[in-house]
Amino acid sequence: MSTDIFNNCELLCPAGSFESMKTALHFGADAVYAGGPFMQLRSDNAGFSYDDIIKAVELVHSKGKKLYITVNCFATNNEIDRLSDYARFLYNAGVDGVIVSDLGSVVTIKSAAPHLSVHISTQANIQNYKTAEVYYNMGADRVVLGREMTLEEIKELRAKTPKDMEIEAFVHGAMCMSYSGRCLISSYLSGKSGNHGECTQPCRWMYNIVEEKRPNQHFTVIEENGTSAILSSHDLCCVEFLDEIADAGVISFKIEGRMKSPYYVATVTNAYRQRMNGTASIEQIKHELECASHRPYSTGFYYGALKYDHNNDGLYHQSCKFIAIVLTDEGNGRYTVEMRNRFSVGDTLEILSPNSSGKSFTVESIIDKSGNERQTAHLPQEILNIYCPEKLYVGDFLRQRI
């Protein structure tokens, strides 16, 4: 399978923490996106501080990669007043671009930091070439398309917009049940707004119907297979037709997941890197993507209306669990690892690495930091020493089949 079509494409991965950022870079991301301390549309624990952003820029640029910072809340008057200083800070820190959804924010950022690259967020729900052109004329270098666009619509948008305007699109991850993420259910039911990064995902909950005059009679809403998560969307997965997305004019493939675990970032980034490099078959990559926590996969809107198979119970499923991350290579087949889930001598562990695939080994020994032999690793994030006959690299992950 030819991979030439991906030569000028970017794999853009989420970084909700420094660990996720390092993981994305290790597993082949060309660029990462992260939230800062201001207007970042995710919960506070997924945002970097001012000092963190400076350190992140240094790390990412040392790898020859790029860092984009999300500034994609819809701004209030108070936030607009603070945005100019923040934009100047991001530019001076060396950030490669900011992801913005609010019109006033775009104008404010370009006025305060004219040379700071602006990418228009998917929250702006760009669906046509004229809207993209308007943002380009306002100074945007890139548009992140609304997830509701089909491949044919993307081709038309590309053909009718300036050639130096870049196009980015989501290719993997959770999809909001609402149009371009503009949902008020969480605000109404829990007082936490999805438009300020606090969504409690009530669309994934199970619901009953109650008739007004029969308040004590609850009727279960069931689709198929006995489930009632009727609002729960499937996850997006585009590995099978990633070449078609590139052919439509998209140059940046975006993976959703700033609130996801480093293990999720490792698994998905590695899979899409393999797809772009042509180092694994489609079937192998699809099998790999089952290892990370996900809802049933779909092709989204790329081929038109959503097509679901009605097996969505609103829950996450995965075929493997994260066991440990490799910290150091001690030589002679011994490695220091940080444990994330319980494992024991005799267990078979798989290696998740950008340098190899499909390898596993049996745990022969576990030694704790005091030098004691252990039969089981059970203390969360304990630092341990293990033997592995296969070559491991710092940053590789170990997992176990469920």
Look at residue 42 in the predicted model and tell me its pLDDT.
Answer: 65
> Beta partners for 118?
98
Average confidence (pLDDT) over 140-167: 97
**pLDDT(310) > 60:** no
The residue that leads in pLDDT, 32 or 177, is 32
Look at residue 194 in the predicted model and tell me its pLDDT.
Answer: 67
Output DSSP code: residue 204. G
Tell whether 203 and 349 lie within a shared domain. Answer: no
Looking at the domain assignment, is residue 309 inside a domain?
no
Tell whether 336 and 287 lie within a shared domain. Answer: no
Average confidence (pLDDT) over 297-315: 78
CA distance 380 to 30: 31
Look at residue 33 in the predicted model and tell me its pLDDT.
Answer: 98
| Mean pLDDT comparison of 65-79, 188-202, 334-348, highest-scoring range | 334-348
Looking at the domain assignment, is residue 397 inside a domain?
yes
Tell whether 209 and 63 lie within a shared domain. Answer: no
Look at residue 176 in the predicted model and tell me its pLDDT.
Answer: 76
Tell whether 361 and 255 lie within a shared domain. Answer: no
Considering only 126-135, 167-176, 196-205, 371-380, which range has the smallest mean pLDDT? 196-205
Specify whether the CB–CB gap between 69 and 53 falls below 8 A: yes
Tell whether 190 and 240 lie within a shared domain. Answer: no
Considering only 153-157, 208-212, 303-307, 310-314, which range has the smallest mean pLDDT? 310-314
Looking at the domain assignment, is residue 115 inside a domain?
yes
Please name which of 149, 136, 144 lies closest in space to residue 179, comparing C-alpha atoms.
149
Question: 228 pLDDT band (50/70/90 cuts)?
Answer: low
Tell whether 56 and 96 lie within a shared domain. Answer: yes
Q: Which tokens belong to 158?
A: 């590309």
Q: What is the mean pLDDT of the chain?
A: 92
Look at residue 308 in the predicted model and tell me its pLDDT.
Answer: 61
Tell whether 259 and 359 lie within a shared domain. Answer: no
- Alpha carbon separation from 50 to 23, 72, 92, 150 (Å, rounded): 21, 17, 12, 38
Look at residue 311 in the predicted model and tell me its pLDDT.
Answer: 63
Tell whether 274 and 126 lie within a shared domain. Answer: yes
Look at residue 78 in the predicted model and tell me its pLDDT.
Answer: 92
Looking at the domain assignment, is residue 132 inside a domain?
yes
Instruction: Give Cβ neighbours of residue 136 (< 8 Å, ≥ 6 apart).
Output: 143, 161, 162, 165
The CB density around residue 120, as the number of other CB atoms within 10 Å, is 28
Average confidence (pLDDT) over 90-105: 97
Question: 204 pLDDT band (50/70/90 cuts)?
Answer: confident
Looking at the domain assignment, is residue 88 inside a domain?
yes
Looking at the domain assignment, is residue 311 inside a domain?
no
Look at residue 44 in the predicted model and tell me its pLDDT.
Answer: 61
Average confidence (pLDDT) over 177-203: 73
CA distance 317 to 319: 7
Pairing of strands 297-298, 320-331: unpaired
If one counts the domains in the chain, the total is 3
Tell whether 129 and 272 lie within a shared domain. Answer: yes
CA distance 75 to 99: 13
**pLDDT(104) > 60:** yes
Average confidence (pLDDT) over 304-315: 70
Look at residue 351 in the predicted model and tell me its pLDDT.
Answer: 98
Q: Which tokens belong to 318?
A: 């995965």
CA distance 178 to 204: 12
Please name which of 187, 223, 182 lies closest in space to residue 206, comparing C-alpha atoms.
223
What's 335's domain CATH number?
2.40.30.10
Tell whether 73 and 8 lie within a shared domain. Answer: yes
Look at residue 306 in the predicted model and tell me its pLDDT.
Answer: 74
**Boundary of a domain, candidates 220, 247, 273:** 220
Residue-number span of the structural domain to which 201 is assigned: 181-220
**pLDDT(125) > 70:** yes
What's 289's domain CATH number?
3.20.20.70
CA distance 357 to 396: 11
Helix (H) or strand (E) holding 384, with range, is strand 383-387
**pLDDT(392) > 80:** yes
Tell whether 283 and 348 lie within a shared domain. Answer: no
Tell whether 202 and 342 lie within a shared domain. Answer: no
Looking at the domain assignment, is residue 335 inside a domain?
yes
- Alpha carbon separation from 103 to 44, 106, 109, 147 (Å, rounded): 23, 5, 10, 19
Looking at the domain assignment, is residue 305 inside a domain?
no
